[in-house]
Amino acid sequence: MAKTDWNLRDTIRPEDMNELGQEINEHGGKIAEQGLEIEEHDKTILEQGTKITEQGKSISALENRLDTEEYAEITLQQGLQVVKAERDSRFRLGSIKGRTLINLLGSAGGCEDASIFSISSGSATPSYFVSTPLEADSGSSGIRATWNDINMGSSYAKYVPIPNSLVPGKTYLAALVVKTNNPSIGGRIAIRKTDTAISGETTIQSSNYSLSYLKFMADGKETAVGCFFAVNNQSGFVSFDSIRLYELSQAESVAFDGLAPEQIAEKYSYVSSGIIGVENPYVIRYGENLLPPFYEWTTYTQDGVNTYKSSGVYEVSFIAEQGKQGFVYYDLPLVPNRYYTLSSQHTGYISVTSLDLNSVLLPNTVEQSGTFFSGKATLGRVYLSNIGDGSLTGKGGLFTFKSPMLSLGTEAKPFKPREDAMLAFQTELHANPDTGAEPDELFEQNGQYFKLAKWKKVVLDESRFWGIDAGNVTPEYKPLYFRDGTIQAKDYITYATKYDGTRLFNRETASYTGADQTLMYRNGIHLTVANSDSGWGPNYSPTQDEIKAYLMGWKMYLYGNVTQPYNGTGTRAWGKLGLPLNPDGGLKDGTTTLPTQSYPEWNYYQLLYRFAEETVEPVVSEDCLTLSEGDNVVEVGTGIVLREKTNPKQVGGIAYRINSISMSNQFKYRLGTPIEVSRNNNIDYHWVYVDNSVVSNDGYGKGVLQINSPADYDPSAAYNVTYIKLDKSPVAPITGSLAANEKAQISDLTAGVAEALHGVSVNGAQLPAHVDAKVHSTEVHGLRIQADKLQYQKANGDWDKVGGEEVLLSNSITGIRTDVAATELAVNRAANVPYTDKTLIIASLKNSPTLTQQASTVIPFDNVLTDTLGELNGDGSFTLRDSGTYYVSIDIGAFNTSDIPQYTDFFISISYPSDQYLANYRVPKSTSIVRLIGGGLLVVKNNYESYKISIWTDAANVRLGLNSYLNVARLR
């Protein structure tokens, strides 16, 4: 250590300085080291501060994700698609906008009758030109032109007349689908003019229906539309169907050139005659497993293959002899250009083919799984069989297939039962047919669905009271009109079609210039009918019932001479209008008795008008759409019919069948695709679909549904069917959103569960009060299901079981009573009913009407007991003067049901804005006197809205009792 006790007498030596310098150096190094340590410590503090800041941001972000809802916008397009979701989410509807298509060809475009293609050209006259179900793309039939031999000519064309002249300068789209069995010949869309013809650019030579189209600007010379055949002196056939002729707006014409053929086919799909809007739109999210239980598959056997046995809904087995084929198959739509993986636990072979490309996607394999690429295929068929090893020969032995799974991707996934989700609506959305402007719009608000309605479609039928505008009758036509106070419309705006689907001319002044014209004037609909259509002579003024007969499809004529209009003398006769004539030239089903019923083939006049003011209407919806994390297969379409009541009937003493023409229990619309059959509101898996080719075209549409074992049918149950109509309608994109964070996910899934529990929503209110304890498992009007028991809520908040006597609920105006061996609800009419503002109407019957069998009958309440802020109208309807929320209840007593053969159904509904069931009963034969009680909430949007209560039954000679009551109360 260096010397430190220096004084003035000390001598400084060199070694002292060296020691001092050494110590200074040593201390300097230590100071530097400490400085580094301090610097490192500072860095650590900064890093920790940064981490704290980042953690704070993460905490803030998590707080935002849990406190603030965030959504990602999404648009679902028409048809099948794959939608990727970042997390499990409920689809929140943004909007669906209306659209209207009017096929200017009318019903002729359906190609159901080859004889109307009366115009032809070219040398290659076909050996046969026929309408056949084998070639149907839409409707029941398509047309096939056949050339039996070679060297019959190079080309040919066949046309149907265009009903009305096209407007020069406007743009139109003509299209059809066409296919051939010989790639050396083909067909394409063609327009015939007075001086020439034009046709599509491409000749279709595919074995599957493909679209041929032509956009053109009219010059007024167009006379007919049809198919041009490039025969090329070859033999074979060309088929076509679904001809459409649409007027395009200027905006549509510009956008059209950027569309691919597939987009054109989707956007301008074929529609049949009439005014067709976006009818009953739906979205289906198919389960991760795209294959359903085996009861939805189709079986095929040859002699030597025993009966298929199932030990579960996802397991099937059969025993086959060597050389005999046995298999089950299932058809399903495919998304193009996607990888799929098929897997199953099995001892046979699995494979997949493309039905639209006639190709193999996954060859027969004994492997437990296989992956394939769909390519251009849009329709696939999955096979589970005993056929393999490159041969069509069936193998012998026991073959078992269990847990089949088809999913997106290249990897086999663990088996899951198929679980689909659906969101469907019962409404029709329109827009201006010429421009697409001012569309109706469907939207969601607070978990309920509404329509901003700007347009109204009406059927011009026999239900209206028609007058004759006598001052404007001419020798050629008669103007009809009706004005009943229910219409609030803008003047001079109508779009209308007649019985053959052709478009009528809209008058923009209060006058007429000819037949087939419509006019909206002062909230009245005016229609000019040609005497050549009606059969009314120039000097004859038809009665009200004769006008109704015409609007139901009956043409009048002088008996003995079908070509002679009835002019006031001689015997009147009527025949069916618009159907092929009898061989002798007469009208079908001629009669001298004034007809009072229409017939299935008749297409009513239709008219679309613009509301004077937009209205908001509640929309009936069903279910809740959820998407799973990852890829989802989603289908968007239209034409779904929800829970239509049906009446199964036995065929041949064995099977029970519905939608049968021969059994007179066909659906309201032609059947396209069945979705499900429910028995007492629960899915009934015993029903199978049978194609018309198997049941000799007995189905109304494509086929029938039936139960093959009588033991699986319950005659005491109520059956309903959900299906997609065969007749197509335009499809609109559906906008919406998916949850983008946890807060939105939790909120939407909670709301989705509530919607799913509510099932069907009506009028934006909760479930109607006739709650079936076996169906709904949520609290409604102070009711709940607990341990399969129906309970009510007492005034103190406690829950108790429902007994056999009437109990007043604490939080509604509804009471409970047990009747007809079931628990139903009815309004308690005690003076101290809580939660009501005022009883507006109480009414009963003065007479005992007889109900019409298998039809709805308006209950003619006409005995007013109370009439406050509401009134009876004399026609069975009642009017509520103020908007608000009401409770409507009915109490129908003293039915005489002695004529019931076994069981009868009663459906009671309120008719505005769409039928809402208030009660649904099935009564056994042994019950001679019954009492039907029901009710439901009614949300009234406008003042002075009118309603009717109707009842439907399938029994004959049923009379209502005078002790039947209507009660309308307003809620506070």
The pLDDT tens digits of the residues spanning 764-782 come to 222 223 222 222 222 333 4
Half-sphere exposure of 844 toward its Cβ, with a 13 Å CA cutoff?
10
Strands annotated E in 231-314: 236-248, 278-279, 282-285, 298-301, 309-312
CA-wise closest residue to 213 among 166, 156, 260, 272: 260
| β-bridge mates for residue 424, sequence order | 282, 622
- By the 8 A CB rule, do 259 and 72 touch? no
| β-bridge mates for residue 176, sequence order | 212
- By the 8 A CB rule, do 352 and 333 touch? no
Residues near 509 by Cβ (< 8 Å), separated by ≥ 6? 492
Question: How many Å apart are CA 679 and CA 656, to the nearest integer?
Answer: 14
Which phi and psi (to 5°) does residue 550 adopt? Answer: -65, -45
DSSP 205-244: --SS-EEEEEEEE--S-EEEEEEEEE-TT--EEEEEEEEE
Question: How many Å apart are CA 822 and CA 933, to the nearest integer?
Answer: 11
- pLDDT attached to residue 848: 75
- By the 8 A CB rule, do 675 and 635 touch? no
CA-wise closest residue to 143 among 128, 132, 152: 132
Helix (H, G, I), strand (E, B) or coil at 49: helix
- By the 8 A CB rule, do 714 and 679 touch? yes
- By the 8 A CB rule, do 406 and 291 touch? yes
Plot region of 667 (φ>0 → left; ψ -120 to 50 → alpha; else → beta): beta
Which phi and psi (to 5°) does residue 44 adopt? Answer: -60, -40
Read off the pTM. 0.71
- pLDDT attached to residue 152: 95
- The length of the chain, given as a count of residues: 972
- By the 8 A CB rule, do 226 and 214 touch? no
- By the 8 A CB rule, do 398 and 262 touch? no
CA-wise closest residue to 531 among 540, 543, 522, 520: 540
- pLDDT attached to residue 371: 97
Helix (H, G, I), strand (E, B) or coil at 401: strand
- By the 8 A CB rule, do 654 and 670 touch? no
What is the pairing mode between strands 505-506 and 517-521?
parallel
Question: How many Å apart are CA 308 and CA 327, to the nearest integer?
Answer: 9
At 459, list the tokens.
Answer: 């059927």
pLDDT along the chain (972 residues), means of 10: 63 69 70 71 73 64 59 90 89 94 92 93 95 88 95 95 92 96 95 95 89 95 96 96 94 91 90 93 94 85 68 83 90 94 96 91 96 94 90 88 95 92 94 93 88 94 89 95 87 94 92 95 94 96 95 96 94 91 88 93 94 90 86 94 92 91 92 91 86 88 90 91 91 91 64 45 30 27 43 52 38 29 30 43 75 78 69 76 73 57 64 52 51 65 77 74 72 56
DSSP 786-841: ETTEEEEE-TTS-EEE--SS-EE-SSSSEEEEEETTEEEEEE---TT-TTEEEEEE
**The tokens 């088996």 sit on which residue?**
415
CA distances from 105 to 176, 331, 528, 728, 787 (A): 12, 33, 20, 16, 59
CA-wise closest residue to 218 among 173, 160, 171: 171
Question: How many Å apart are CA 699 and CA 665, to the nearest integer?
Answer: 10
Which phi and psi (to 5°) does residue 532 adopt? Answer: -70, -25
* Three-state SS sequence of 150-180: CCCCCEEEEEEECCCCCCCCCEEEEEEEEEE
Beta-carbon count within 10 A of 761 CB: 19
Residues near 677 by Cβ (< 8 Å), separated by ≥ 6? 646, 658, 683, 684, 687, 705, 719, 720, 721
Sheet arrangement for strand 524-530: 467-468, 477-482, 524-530, 517-521, 505-506
Helix (H, G, I), strand (E, B) or coil at 48: helix
Cis status of the peptide bond prior to 133, with omega within 30 of 0: no
| β-bridge mates for residue 719, sequence order | 646, 679
Packing angle, helices 742-758 and 14-67, rounded to 10: 20
Beta-carbon count within 10 A of 119 CB: 15
Question: How many Å apart are CA 542 and CA 202, to the nearest integer?
Answer: 52
Sheet arrangement for strand 448-460: 71-76, 734-739, 92-97, 441-445, 448-460, 605-618, 489-497
Burial label for 666, CB within 10 Å (0-12, 13-18, 19+), is buried
**The tokens 């029903």 sit on which residue?**
687
Distance between start and end Cα atoms, the chain: 101
Which phi and psi (to 5°) does residue 596 adopt? Answer: -125, 5
